[in-house]
Structure 1
Amino acid sequence: MSSDNVLEKTTRVNLLFDFYGPLLTEKQQTFLTCYFLDDLSLGEIAAEFGISRQAVYEHIRRAEATLEGYEEKLGLAADHERRTAILADLKTAVDTWKPDERDSYFRKKALACIEQLEQIEG
């Protein structure tokens, strides 16, 4: 796995963990924290908890699958990413708006962004 893929996976798991971490078992939370947040190796975690590297790997793999399952059902992380993108668009529109312009581009763009945010929030 390339370093870009590893970074993407780590970022994804951390994002999902932020949203769904409390729904995991204590052991899953601990192993994910050690592996993805504290950057410990499987061997280091195994030594710390007195289990095999394979057991640590399986716990982490199952926890990742659980997080992805929650995301498939609830979509909180996807909604967060959509809101973040919409807010970035809104910020760009505000930053580039010139008060002396008489057209309604800014107003239309801002209202569209706000409407999108309201739809996401349900």
Structure 2
Amino acid sequence: MADVSGVEEQVEETAQAQPAAEGQGEAKPHPGALREAEVVAEMEIGRTSKLVFQVGKRRTGDMAFDIREYVDRPARGNSPGYTGPTRSGFRLHEENYEEFLEAVKSIGRALGYHVD
């Protein structure tokens, strides 16, 4: 996988601003971005992709967690390549954490792992 140093800064920059359209001045924060997002874990899932686990505040101020795929795809042919978050992932409210954790444990049990 490509160099992953600085992913926290990249995640924060991506969450804080979306490029402004040509001639529109300064970039504005993406309306759905987590505020004060903190990367709490990363997991490589391929040669050019990883899962990034974040915790932060939603627009409403409620806490949420986000698990999203990030890629580092080099330019090939006419494609300029891309480094950053993808649409693959999900965000859940803090209140859904316990239920989410139980679902993950169920997956572990189904795969034959000993789960507390």
TM-score, scaled relative to structure 1: 0.28
- In terms of fraction of residues, the more strand-rich structure is 2
Larger radius of gyration: 1
TM-score, scaled relative to structure 2: 0.29
